[in-house]
């Protein structure tokens, strides 16, 4: 059990999917306008990545059996697309406000490099089932932490007098750059 | 290696496995999505989707609702009239009426809108500086952004001033949004008289920059039987609720700035 | 400048809706692979190939694919093309394959491809989608090469792999620029430059709020409103 | 529960996925041998680079299995042996071992090929896989750094910032000490395992 916690913490902080591995940036920059929307997006990503890691592990066992490892990308991405569509219809029915707020960015989770990236790295590190789920959950928490922090900063940024050309996406990217450098601090934190 | 050589080299068993595997996952996914799609389906009434199908779908926002989905929802809930879509006009209104079983006749014809450029100072009437630009700082600068914004080719820059083609204009307001000088106004279709100027300076200053500008003399305001026109901040403004198109203001205006 | 609609679609992809600077899509490869101009070009070209092919096939199938399974269907098409490109590149262009590493499979989730598939290809004809794919691809490649050049020059003192200045002789290379945070910085500067360029004309949407008319003195405001 | 629509959707998805599976299967079968040949040829080339006077190489799976044990006994945790090839001269006599050593560099996995002569001399190294930052860590694959390991019969290497004097000292790459350390540790592990192979090869 202790080993799983280490995996979760390393996935969330040490090699944060957004700020160290630099995957899933499109939705990270796109959705982080308000903290509650970011929280909603983070929640959706936590669900999708965790379940996707579990399902991907199962599928990979079958692929290994049939010696079709090269099919891992296509099979994983199919599963992720299906999961995202389920989450999308679930949100549309039960949390319509959040569904409208996330709008186009919900299907973008499917194209979110983080989700496929995690599934593929789980396979590369040949984790067992619980390790895969732990790594998936940790990575998703890392994504959630990063996106909520950025959303908080962006909300405060709206009030600051940013120089005119830097308004909009440039200031967001500079914020992300500073966060990424800050997360370097975690890089040599060994547990 | 001849073609047959390549073909024999492939062990069809693996290829078959690959096809079965991907196909199998596709099958499971298809069924799963179908089922969850059904479980989580939101009760959008078929009628609303039918209404949405009638609408043109270019989301221009002319009806005042956020795109055609917004309008479809509003019509379905009865908040918007059947012919609220300016772009679709009567044809779309008829189709929607059919869908929700309402006769078009007894529905009050919603007032369509037409765009109007509140400036008539072209290169002849307006005073130009040495670089050939109009001196008046309120009027149309012929930048053409409205022409680019219009999806219905209903507005053109003619001799230095933007002019609206009333037949083609559907009143979607795209030009008004894009105009940097904010001098395009959406006027109800039935109204014929409009003040073609946006200059708030005094009469004397207006005369110095434009021969066709409103000099705020107030003749129109004094003579309007309905009191529908008033001079506010040196500029004649028409209240379209009260205006009955009688045209007295147009005759009385010494500088002919009221169209 | 009225071009026929095909050329316009290509032009649109490169300038008006440049995927990297305007649409802000495809960030993951942009940040991580554009460490050198050559990598950027390699990534850009392989993405362009896949983008054009998948746009065309999705446009061809758009009537058949029902809305219920739209997302998985597009993904399968894109993933198949990417894996094919992956095999071909690994088999026949080994060197480039080693340089691009993990980013080949991640082209599948490159937001540009699926974004354009959904936003454009599913609503337009095959030929238009192909042009849009080409335009977007070129726009992406150009953006990647530009960022690659800047990062390569500042970070490692080389341009297209040729050593331009010896390390710490003329200028101590900033290592952080080759790392991904540097990419964020370079992208931010380029986007700001683009805003600055657009900003100069008083008529773009960015500073619509202040009501300072430009007093129709177009020389001083640098045009941009035509 | 409008079954017809669900079945129709699933049928379309099934057709697309089956076609895709077929295409991928065929593509894989055609390109797999080419890729395998490429990798084999690439590995042989790097070994020849490391072991210039070897005529042929024989893969030694048996030694490879013992590699993990040997590493553990010597307390080496961050380096793993991924391949062991016996180098033979023209007459077939064993003249040394070519090893692939994998470790973690600055940017991620770093794999080097290392040649160990039976007489204890390090024949040289070559960088097989590297994701070091370009311009810094990536300079490890330049001869100026690599050749410092060639032709030296020492028990272990250590690196100094500059002005390496002793035979077992090498100059670090300026600005890339992490990469230098990773390569040096890998080579030292290679020496230990090479000596093990020579003793009971």
A120, A72 contact by CB (below 8 A): yes
Give the nearest partner residue to C225 out of B34, B131, B143, using CB atoms: B143
Give the model confidence (pLDDT) of D54-83 as tens digits.
Answer: 777 777 888 888 888 888 888 888 888 888
Distance CA D167, CA D97 (A): 22
The answer to whether residue C73 is domain-embedded is: yes
The DSSP H or E segment spanning A30 is helix A25-31
Structural domains in chain A (count): 1
Check A70 against D24: CB less than 8 A apart: yes
List chain A residues with CB under 8 Å of C28: 22-26, 113
DSSP E strand boundaries for chain C: 158-159, 162-163
D78, D185 contact by CB (below 8 A): yes
CA-nearest residue to A15 within chain D is D108
Give the nearest partner residue to A25 out of C28, C191, C195, using CB atoms: C28
Could you tell me which of C178, C103, C175 has the C-alpha nearest to residue C147? C178
Question: What average pLDDT does range B130-157 have in this prediction?
Answer: 82
Query: In the predicted model, is pLDDT for residue C206 greater than 50?
Result: no
Is any Cβ of chain A less than 8 angstroms from the Cβ of D92? no
How does strand D109-117 pair with strand D122-130?
A: antiparallel
Q: What is the pLDDT of residue A137?
A: 92
Which of helix, strand or coil describes residue B43? coil
B112, B84 contact by CB (below 8 A): no
The answer to whether residue C191 is domain-embedded is: no
Q: Which residues, at least 6 apart from D16, have a Cβ–Cβ distance to it below 8 Å?
A: B26, C61, C65, C73, C76, C77
CB count within 10 Å of CB B228 equals 21
Report how far apart, in Å, the C-alpha atoms of B35 and of each of B27, B38, D58, D92 are. 12, 5, 57, 67
Is any Cβ of chain A less than 8 angstroms from the Cβ of D21? yes
Give the model confidence (pLDDT) of C173-200 as tens digits.
Answer: 777 777 778 888 888 888 888 778 765 4
Is any Cβ of chain A less than 8 angstroms from the Cβ of C178? no
Query: In the predicted model, is pLDDT for residue B106 greater than 60?
Result: no
Average pLDDT, chain B: 79
Check A89 against B32: CB less than 8 A apart: no
The residue ranking higher by pLDDT, C150 or A187, is C150
Check D17 against B23: CB less than 8 A apart: yes
Q: What is the pLDDT of residue B246?
A: 84
C114, C144 contact by CB (below 8 A): no
Average pLDDT, chain C: 75
List chain B residues with CB under 8 Å of C225: 141, 143-145, 180
User: Which C residues 197-226 touch A at CB under 8 Å?
Assistant: 199, 206-207
In chain B, what percentage of residues exceed pLDDT 90?
0
Give the model confidence (pLDDT) of D16-51 as tens digits.
Answer: 889 988 888 888 888 888 888 877 777 777 777 777
Q: Can you give the C-alpha Rg of chain C in angstroms?
A: 20
Could you tell me which of B64, B200, B192, B33 has the C-alpha nearest to residue B116? B192
Phi and psi (nearest 5°) for B87? Answer: -70, -45
CA-nearest residue to A84 within chain C is C71
Distance CA D107, CA D188 (A): 21
Residue written as token pair 């160290």:
A20
Query: In the predicted model, is pLDDT for residue C158 greater than 80?
Result: no
Query: What is the least distance, in Å, from the CA of B15 to any CA of chain A?
Result: 9
Check D20 against C167: CB less than 8 A apart: no
Query: What is the least distance, in Å, from the CA of C175 to any CA of chain D?
Result: 8
The answer to whether residue D44 is domain-embedded is: no
Structural domains in chain C (count): 1
List chain A residues with CB under 8 Å of C27: 25-26, 28-29
List chain C residues with CB under 8 Å of B144: 225-226
Is any Cβ of chain C less than 8 angstroms from the Cβ of D13? yes
The answer to whether residue D117 is domain-embedded is: yes
B10 backbone φψ class: left, alpha, beta (φ>0; ψ -120 to 50) = beta
**Domain range B46-99, its CATH number among 1.10.15.40, 3.30.420.40, 3.40.250.10, 3.40.50.1010:** 1.10.15.40
Range of the domain at D58: 50-200
How many CA within 13 A on the CB side of residue D15? 10
CB count within 10 Å of CB B134 equals 26
Could you tell me which of B67, B50, B192, B207 has the C-alpha nearest to residue B136? B207
Give the nearest partner residue to A70 out of D17, D20, D28, using CB atoms: D28
Q: What's the token pair of residue B248?
A: 């007295």
Query: In the predicted model, is pLDDT for residue C207 greater than 50?
Result: no
**Domain range B113-252, its CATH number among 2.60.40.1180, 3.40.50.920, 3.40.50.1000, 3.30.70.20:** 3.30.70.20
Q: What is the pLDDT of residue C185?
A: 87
Range of the domain at C73: 5-141
Give the model confidence (pLDDT) of B187-200 as tens digits.
Answer: 887 888 888 888 88
The residue ranking higher by pLDDT, D155 or B92, is D155
Check A77 against C79: CB less than 8 A apart: yes
The DSSP H or E segment spanning A19 is none
Q: What is the pLDDT of residue C204?
A: 40
Question: What average pLDDT does range B220-240 have in this prediction?
Answer: 85
Q: What's the token pair of residue D135?
A: 């311009």
Report how far apart, in Å, the C-alpha atoms of B46 and of each of A84, B72, B76, C48 are. 25, 11, 10, 41
Is any Cβ of chain C less than 8 angstroms from the Cβ of B33? yes
Residue written as token pair 């949407």:
C205
Check A71 against D24: CB less than 8 A apart: yes
- In which band, very low, low, confident or very high, does the pLDDT at C222 lie, cut at 50, 70 and 90? very low
List chain C residues with CB under 8 Å of D16: 61, 65, 73, 76-77
Q: What's the token pair of residue C7?
A: 């050329």
Distance CA B73, CA B119 (A): 38
User: DSSP code of C44?
Assistant: H
Distance CA C85, CA C81 (A): 6
Residue written as token pair 């369509």:
B112
Count interface pairs A-B at CB distance under 8 A.
47
Exposed e or buried b per residue across A113-147, where buried means at least 16 C-beta atoms within 10 angstroms of its C-beta:
bbbbbbbbbbbeeebeeebbbbbbbbbbbbbbbbb
Query: What is the least distance, in Å, from the CA of A188 to any CA of chain B?
Result: 41
Could you tell me which of C189, C195, C199 has the C-alpha nearest to residue C221? C199
Range of the domain at A19: 2-187
Q: Which residues, at least 6 apart from B180, have a Cβ–Cβ distance to it below 8 Å?
A: B141, B143, B145, C202, C203, C208, C213, C214, C225
Check A71 against D20: CB less than 8 A apart: no
Check D24 against A78: CB less than 8 A apart: no
User: Cα angle at A113 between A107 and A117, to 5 degrees?
Assistant: 130
Domain ranges of chain B: 46-99, 113-252
The residue ranking higher by pLDDT, B102 or D89, is D89
Q: How far is CA A128 from the centre of its chain?
A: 21
List chain C residues with CB under 8 Å of D136: 156, 173, 175, 178
Distance CA A187, CA A19 (A): 11
List chain B residues with CB under 8 Å of D30: 6, 10
Phi and psi (nearest 5°) for D4? Answer: -55, -45
Phi and psi (nearest 5°) for D126? Answer: -145, 145
User: What is the torsional sign of CA D19, D22, D26, D28?
Assistant: positive
Structural domains in chain D (count): 1
Q: What is the pLDDT of residue B59?
A: 66
The answer to whether residue D182 is domain-embedded is: yes
Q: What is the pLDDT of residue C212?
A: 41
Residue ranges in chain D assigned as alpha helix (H) = 3-50, 61-73, 143-146, 177-200
The answer to whether residue C28 is domain-embedded is: yes
- In which band, very low, low, confident or very high, does the pLDDT at B258 lie, cut at 50, 70 and 90? confident
Count interface pairs B-C at CB distance under 8 A.
46
Q: Which residues of A touch B (CB under 8 A)?
A: 59, 62-63, 66-68, 71, 74-75, 78-79, 81-82, 85-86, 89-90, 92-94, 96
Q: Which residues, at least 6 apart from C105, have a Cβ–Cβ distance to it below 8 Å?
A: A73, A116, A120, C82, C83, C86
B247, B173 contact by CB (below 8 A): no
Is any Cβ of chain D less than 8 angstroms from the Cβ of C189? no
Could you tell me which of A28, A43, A122, A118 has the C-alpha nearest to residue C180? A28
Check D34 against C157: CB less than 8 A apart: no
Q: Which residues, at least 6 apart from A114, have a Cβ–Cβ distance to it below 8 Å?
A: A17, A18, A21, A23, A24, A45, A49, A139, A143
Is any Cβ of chain D less than 8 angstroms from the Cβ of C179? yes
* Average pLDDT per 10 consecutive residues for chain A, totaling 191 residues: 87 84 79 82 86 89 84 86 84 78 68 79 83 90 91 85 80 88 77 61
The answer to whether residue D14 is domain-embedded is: no
The answer to whether residue C226 is domain-embedded is: no
Distance CA B41, CA A154 (A): 35
CA-nearest residue to B30 within chain A is A82
Question: What average pLDDT does range B222-247 have in this prediction?
Answer: 85
Strand partners for C171? C167
Give the model confidence (pLDDT) of D171-197 as tens digits.
Answer: 888 777 888 888 888 888 888 888 888
């Amino acid at each position: 059990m202790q080993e799983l916690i280490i995996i979760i913490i390393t996935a969330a902080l040490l090699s944060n999917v957004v700020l160290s591995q630099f995957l899933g940036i499109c939705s990270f920059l796109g959705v982080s306008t308000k903290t509650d929307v970011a929280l909603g997006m983070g929640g959706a990503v936590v669900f999708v990545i965790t379940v996707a890691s579990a399902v991907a592990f199962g599928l990979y066992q079958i692929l290994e059996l049939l010696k079709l490892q090269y099919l891992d990308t296509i099979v994983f991405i199919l599963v992720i697309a299906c999961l995202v569509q389920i989450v999308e219809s679930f949100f549309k029915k039960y949390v319509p406000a959040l569904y409208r707020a996330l709008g186009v960015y919900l299907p973008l989770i499917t194209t979110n490099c983080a989700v496929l990236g995690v599934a593929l790295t789980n396979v590369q590190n040949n984790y067992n089932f619980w390790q895969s789920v732990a790594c998936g959950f940790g990575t998703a928490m890392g994504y959630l932490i990063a996106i909520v922090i950025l959303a908080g900063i962006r909300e405060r940024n709206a009030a600051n007098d940013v120089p005119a050309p830097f308004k909009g996406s440039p200031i967001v990217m500079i914020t992300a750059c500073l966060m990424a450098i800050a997360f370097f601090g975690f890089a040599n934190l060994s547990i | 290696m001849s073609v047959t050589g390549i073909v024999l080299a492939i062990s069809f068993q693996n290829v078959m496995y690959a096809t079965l595997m991907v196909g199998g996952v596709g099958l499971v996914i298809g069924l799963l999505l179908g089922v969850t799609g059904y479980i989580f389906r939101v009760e959008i009434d078929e009628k609303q989707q039918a209404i949405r199908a009638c609408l043109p779908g270019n989301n221009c926002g002319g009806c005042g609702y956020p795109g055609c989905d917004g309008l479809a929802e509003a019509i379905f809930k009865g908040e918007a009239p059947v012919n609220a879509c300016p772009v679709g006009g009567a044809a779309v209104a008829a189709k929607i009426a059919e869908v929700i079983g309402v006769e078009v006749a007894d529905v009050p014809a919603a007032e369509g809108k037409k765009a109007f450029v509140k400036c008539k100072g072209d290169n002849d009437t307006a005073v130009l500086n040495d670089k050939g630009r109009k001196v008046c700082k309120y009027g149309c600068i012929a930048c053409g952004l409205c022409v680019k914004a219009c999806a219905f080719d209903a507005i053109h820059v003619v001799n230095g001033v933007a002019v609206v083609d009333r037949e083609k204009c559907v009143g979607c307001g795209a030009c008004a949004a894009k105009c940097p000088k904010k001098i395009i106004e959406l006027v109800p279709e039935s109204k014929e008289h409009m003040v073609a100027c946006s200059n708030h300076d005094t009469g004397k200053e207006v005369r110095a920059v434009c021969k066709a500008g409103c000099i705020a003399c107030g003749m129109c305001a004094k003579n309007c039987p309905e009191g529908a026109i008033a001079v506010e901040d040196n500029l004649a403004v028409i209240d379209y609720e009260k205006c009955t198109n009688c045209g007295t203001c147009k005759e009385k205006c010494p500088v002919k700035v009221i169209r | 400048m009225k071009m026929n609609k095909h050329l316009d679609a290509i032009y649109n992809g490169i300038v008006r809706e440049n995927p990297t600077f305007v649409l802000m899509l495809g960030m993951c490869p942009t940040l991580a692979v554009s460490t050198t101009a050559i990598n950027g070009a390699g990534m850009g070209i392989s993405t362009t190939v896949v983008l054009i092919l998948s746009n065309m096939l999705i446009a061809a199938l758009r009537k058949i694919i029902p809305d219920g399974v739209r997302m998985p269907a597009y993904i399968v098409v894109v993933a198949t093309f990417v894996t094919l490109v992956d095999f071909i590149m690994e088999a026949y262009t080994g060197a480039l394959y080693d340089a691009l590493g993990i980013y080949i499979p991640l082209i599948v989730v490159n937001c540009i491809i699926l974004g354009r598939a959904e936003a454009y290809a599913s609503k337009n004809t095959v030929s238009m989608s192909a042009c849009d794919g080409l335009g977007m691809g070129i726009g992406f490649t150009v953006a990647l090469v530009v960022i690659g050049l800047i990062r390569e020059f500042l970070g490692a003192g080389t341009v297209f792999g040729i050593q331009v200045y010896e390390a710490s002789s003329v200028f101590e290379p900033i290592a952080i620029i080759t790392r991904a945070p540097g990419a964020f910085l370079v992208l931010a500067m380029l986007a700001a430059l683009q805003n600055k360029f657009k900003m100069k004309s008083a008529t773009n949407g960015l500073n619509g709020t202040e009501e300072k008319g430009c007093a129709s003195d177009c020389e001083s405001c640098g045009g941009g409103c035509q | 529960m409008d079954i017809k629509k669900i079945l129709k959707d699933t049928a379309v998805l099934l057709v697309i996925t089956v076609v895709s599976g077929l295409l991928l299967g065929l593509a894989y079968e055609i390109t797999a041998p080419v890729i395998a040949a490429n990798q084999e040829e690439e590995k042989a080339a790097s070994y020849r680079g490391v072991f210039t006077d070897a005529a042929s190489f024989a893969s030694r799976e048996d030694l490879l299995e013992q590699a993990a044990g040997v590493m553990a006994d010597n307390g080496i945790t961050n380096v793993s042996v991924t391949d062991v090839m016996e180098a033979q001269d023209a007459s077939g006599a064993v003249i040394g071992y070519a090893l692939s050593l994998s470790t973690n560099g600055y940017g991620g996995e770093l794999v080097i090929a290392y040649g160990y002569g039976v007489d204890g001399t390090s024949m040289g190294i070559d960088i097989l896989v590297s994701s070091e930052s370009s311009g810094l860590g990536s300079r490890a694959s330049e001869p100026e750094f690599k050749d410092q390991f060639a032709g030296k019969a020492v028990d272990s290497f250590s690196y100094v910032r500059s002005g390496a004097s002793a035979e077992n000292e090498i100059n670090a790459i300026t600005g890339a000490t992490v990469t230098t350390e990773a390569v040096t540790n890998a080579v030292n592990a290679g020496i230990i395992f090479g000596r093990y192979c020579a003793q009971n090869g």
